[in-house]
Amino acid sequence: MSDLLTIAGKFDLIGEAYSCKPYGSGHIHDTYLLEAKDEEVHRYILQRINIFVFKKPEAVQDNIWRILSFLKKQRSAEDTSGIKDLHLVETKQGEMFFLDSSGGYWRCFGFIDDTFVLENVQNPSQAFEGARLFGDFLARLMDYDPRRLHVTIPRFMDAEWRQEQLTMAEFTNPGDRLKKAQPELKRIRQLQKISDQYIRMQEALPDRVVHNDTKINNVLFDQGTGKGITVIDLDTVMTGKLLTDFGDMVRTFTVQGSEDSTDKASYTCQAALFEGLVSGYAEVLAPVITEVERANLLLGGKIVIYMQAIRFLADYINGDVYYKVTSPEQNLLRTRNQLNLLDSVLEQESDLQRIIETSFQAI
């Protein structure tokens, strides 16, 4: 712990750091709960950035600083929404990160007390709150010029690139698994029109500052009220399209099983959860969303699920080099679940589209 406390001491904390312990269940960064004390205890989140995933950590931190600074200016003293933003703690030298002697990049955030995180949405009100928070985040950044942000992960939501990755995996077959993947490959080829439609549509969609990782566990909920209060994990905030932020919520909010579920029925789109999601998003974004964005929201859901199926399948064929697995066919199971979810969206498409239209008209 002494090394961690030495690193913690590089940041402009309130009080003196005395405790630093592993925290949370994240798989990307090394995360610690840091405690410092003067007359009272002050808590922080200390993280070592994963530079294998985020190869430009300075750019990641600069994006976060720019976004949080802008959001702070946007928040008026009369705001009664209860929504809070992360607070990035600078080093004592006024930097956004600390670089240690081994090349490790460290950052620090203020800890938000009395909150909890969900791993799965259990009811429509939770879907509503999560979508309301992500909608608020996007709405408050509508006036921020997305060209000012760095690209932290190139081609992150690029449908053409994901297809190229799958084609390369199929051509090289480094894990010698292509034969077992044939049914999933066939279904992905049958659904190619979803990608084609989205690629054609992109030019009509405005560039936005988007979160790019709108899973429910990137929202902090208030322990007392159950309301969503903070959007976290801003590493992938970049220029993008509103449709894919909405789409990742469809992919992760509307199911009641996990990506590794062996229960096929649990990994389908639940209409009640979808309605909660759309209602929360519409409450914030109805006044500012464009007509072309609103009309194609469901396409955002379809393309994100489709791309995720491609990513899991490509990784399976490549020999599980990106996603962590505990069994040889886990990525193949994940692929099947994404395709099952996508099929359930397609089966309910007219009903889901009606929910979108009704929710936005009601605002």
pLDDT digits (tens, 9 = 90+) for 152-180: 999 899 999 999 999 999 999 998 999 99
Tell me if 345 sits within 8 A of 250, measured CB to CB: yes
pLDDT digits (tens, 9 = 90+) for 116-130: 999 899 999 999 999
- Per-residue three-class SS string for 62-101: HHHHHHHHHHHHHCCCCCCCCCECCCEECECCCCCCEECC
Q: What is the homologous superfamily of the domain 124-361 according to CATH? A: Aminoglycoside phosphotransferase (APH), C-terminal lobe (3.90.1200.10)
Using CB atoms within 10 A of its CB, is residue 267 exposed (0-12), middle (13-18) or buried (19+)? buried
Where residue 275 falls among pLDDT bands split at 50, 70, 90?
very high
Tell me if 277 sits within 8 A of 253, measured CB to CB: yes
Tell me if 145 sits within 8 A of 234, measured CB to CB: no
Q: Which pLDDT score, from 0 to 100, does residue 206 have?
A: 95
Q: Which pLDDT score, from 0 to 100, does residue 150 have?
A: 95
- From residue 175, alpha-carbon distances to 161, 163, 266, 332, 338 in Å are 21, 18, 30, 13, 21
Torsion of CA 331, 250, 216, 32, to 10 degrees: 40
Tell me if 255 sits within 8 A of 342, measured CB to CB: no
The rounded distance, in Å, linking the Cα atoms of 60 and 65 is 9
Whose tokens are 């791309």? That residue is 307
Find the mean pLDDT for residues 201-230: 94
The domain at 2-79+86-110 falls in which architecture?
2-Layer Sandwich (3.30)
Tell me if 100 sits within 8 A of 106, measured CB to CB: yes
Q: Which pLDDT score, from 0 to 100, does residue 265 have?
A: 78
Rounded to the nearest 5°, which phi and psi values hold at 31?
-120, 135
Where residue 215 falls among pLDDT bands split at 50, 70, 90?
very high
Question: Is 1 a residue whose pLDDT tops 60?
Answer: no
Using N-to-C axis directions, what is the helix angle for 297-318 and 159-172, rounded to 10°? 20
Strands (E), the chain: 16-22, 30-37, 41-48, 88-89, 98-99, 105-110, 115-116, 208-210, 219-222, 228-231, 238-240
Tell me if 341 sits within 8 A of 269, measured CB to CB: yes
Find the mean pLDDT for residues 295-307: 97
Question: Is 114 a residue whose pLDDT tops 80?
Answer: yes
Q: Say whether 124-361 and 2-79+86-110 share the same fold.
A: no
| Average pLDDT, rounded, for the chain | 93
Q: Which pLDDT score, from 0 to 100, does residue 76 have?
A: 63
Provide the whole-model pTM: 0.92
* Cα dihedral sign, 186-162-144-233: positive
List the alpha helices (DSSP H) in 202-290.
242-253, 271-285
Considering only residues 20 and 257, tell me which one the structure prediction assigns the higher pLDDT.
Answer: 20
Whose tokens are 């205890």? That residue is 41
Q: Which pLDDT score, from 0 to 100, does residue 81 have?
A: 72
Strand order in the sheet with 219-222: 115-116, 219-222, 228-231
Tell me if 96 sits within 8 A of 64, measured CB to CB: yes
* Cα dihedral sign, 247-354-202-159: positive
The rounded distance, in Å, linking the Cα atoms of 328 and 216 is 28
Q: Which pLDDT score, from 0 to 100, does residue 344 have?
A: 97
Question: Is 311 a residue whose pLDDT tops 60?
Answer: yes
Where residue 141 falls among pLDDT bands split at 50, 70, 90?
very high
Q: Which pLDDT score, from 0 to 100, does residue 228 have?
A: 94
Residue ranges of domains in the chain: 2-79+86-110, 124-361
Instruction: Return the number of other C-beta atoms located less than 10 Å from residue 18's C-beta.
Output: 13
Tell me if 219 sits within 8 A of 117, measured CB to CB: yes
Percentage of the chain modeled with pLDDT above 90? 86
* Assigned token pair, 115: 């909150």
DSSP state of 294: H
Question: Is 78 a residue whose pLDDT tops 60?
Answer: no
Find the mean pLDDT for residues 132-152: 94
**Facing residues of 221 across strands?**
116, 228
- From residue 288, alpha-carbon distances to 156, 283, 291 in Å are 25, 11, 9
Task: Give how far the C-alpha of residue 113 lies from the chain's centroid of Cα atoms, to the nearest Å.
Answer: 22
Find the mean pLDDT for residues 313-320: 95
**Facing residues of 46 across strands?**
32, 108
**Facing residues of 230 across strands?**
84, 220
Task: Report helix, strand or coil for 191.
Answer: coil
Question: Is 348 a residue whose pLDDT tops 70?
Answer: yes
